[in-house]
Structure 1
Amino acid sequence: MLKKTLAGRIRRWINRRLPRADRQTFTQKTIFILPTGAGVVFGLLLLIMLVTGINYQNSLIYLLVFLLGALFVAAMHQTHRNLSGLTLALVSAGEGEAGEGVPFRFRITSTTADSLALALSVADEQGRPGAVIEGVHVPAGETRDVTLTLPTARRGYVRPERVRIETRFPFGLLKAWSWLRPVSAGVAYPRPLPAPDTVSTVQETDNNDTPVRVAGQDEADLRPWREGDLTPRVMWKRYARTGQMVVADWQASGGSPHWLDFSAFPGADTELRLSYLAWQVRDRAAKGARFGLTLPGEVIDPDAGNPHALRCLHALAVWGQEKPRDDDAHVHGTRAGVDSAGAGRAA
Structure 2
Amino acid sequence: MFKKVFHKPWLAWLDKRIPPNPSHALNMRSVFILPSRFGWGFIVMCMCLFLLGTNYQNNLMLLLSYLLLSVMLLTLFYSYQNFAAIALSVSPPKTVFANTTAHLTLNRVKHSNYKTKPEGLLQVQWLQIHKLKLPKLKDTTSITFDIGNQEQRLSIPVLLYTRGEHKLPRLTLKSAYPFGLFNCWTHLDFDVEVMAYPEPKAGKLGEVVHYTQDAAGSKEDERQGNEDFFALTDFIEGEPLNRVAWKQVAKTGNWVVKQFSEQKSDDVYLSLPPNTPLEEGLSALTQKIVSMQSQGVHYGLKLGSTTFTPNNSIAHMHQCLRALATYPNTTFAVSSASTTPVAAASLAAQTTGDSASKGLSK
TM-score by length of 2: 0.66
Which of 133, 136, 150 in structure 1 is aligned with 2:146?
A: 136
> Is 1:262 the counterpart of 2:284 in the alignment?
no
Query: Residue 61 of structure 1: SS of its match in structure 2?
Result: helix
> Partners of 2:89 and 2:98 in 1: how far apart?
24
Within 5 Å, give how 1:231-242 maps onto structure 2: none
Report if aligned partners of 1:109, 1:138 keep a CA contact under 8 Å in 2: no
The equivalent residue for 1:80 is 80
> How big is the shift at 1:194?
0.8
SS of 1:165's equivalent in the other structure is: strand
Gap change, CA 1:307 and 1:49, over 3 Å in 2 = same
Contact 2:134 2:161 in 1 (8 A): no
- 1:45 & 1:14 partners in 2: Cα distance? 35
Deviation at 1:277, TM superposition (A): 0.8
Gaps of 5+ in 1: 209-255, 324-347
In 2 relative to 1, CA 283–154 (structure 1 residues): closer, same or farther, beyond 3 Å? same
**Superposition map of 1:236-315 within 5 A:** 258-263=267-272, 265-304=273-312, 308-315=316-323
- How far the C-alpha of 1:67 sits from its partner, in A, is 1.6
Distance 1:187 1:151, change over 3 A: same
Residues 327-338 of structure 1 mapped to structure 2, 5 A cutoff: none
Tell me the secondary structure at the aligned position of residue 109 of structure 2. strand
How far residue 169 of structure 1 moved from its aligned partner, in angstroms, is: 0.7
Give the C-alpha shift of residue 9 in structure 1.
Answer: 2.9
1:184 lines up with 2:192 in the alignment: yes
Query: 1:93 matched to which residue of 2?
Result: 93
Cα deviation for residue 190 of structure 1 reads 0.8
How far off is 1:201 after superposition? 4.7
Task: Name the SS for the 2:107 alignment partner.
Answer: strand
> Which residue in 2 is equivalent to 1:120?
124
Residue 207 of structure 1: how far off its partner (Å) = 9.3
CA RMSD of aligned residues (A): 2.9
Measured against aligned partners, the alpha-carbon deviations of 1:22-61 in whole angstroms (never above 9, x if no partner) come to 2222111111111122212222222222222222221222
Residue 333 of structure 1 corresponds to none
Deviation for aligned residue 1:260: 5.0
Mapped pair 1:319 → 2:309: no
Gaps of 5+ in 2: 216-264, 332-362
CA shift, 1:306, in A, is 5.1
Rounded to whole Å, the distance in 2 between the matches of 1:318 and 1:129 is 21
- The DSSP-based 3-state class of the residue aligned with 2:147 is strand
The corresponding residue for 2:42 is 42
Q: Structure 1 322/29 Cα, relative in aligned 2: closer, same or farther at 3 Å?
A: farther
Deviating beyond 6 angstroms after TM superposition, the runs of 4 or more aligned structure 1 residues are: none
Asked whether the 8 Å contact 1:138–1:144 carries over to 2, the reply is no
Conserved in 2, the CA contact under 8 Å of 1:121 and 1:165? yes
Q: Are residues 1:156 and 2:164 paired? A: yes
Instruction: Give the Cα separation in 1 of the matches to 2:136 and 2:202.
Output: 32
Q: Which residue of 2 aligns with 1:62?
A: 62
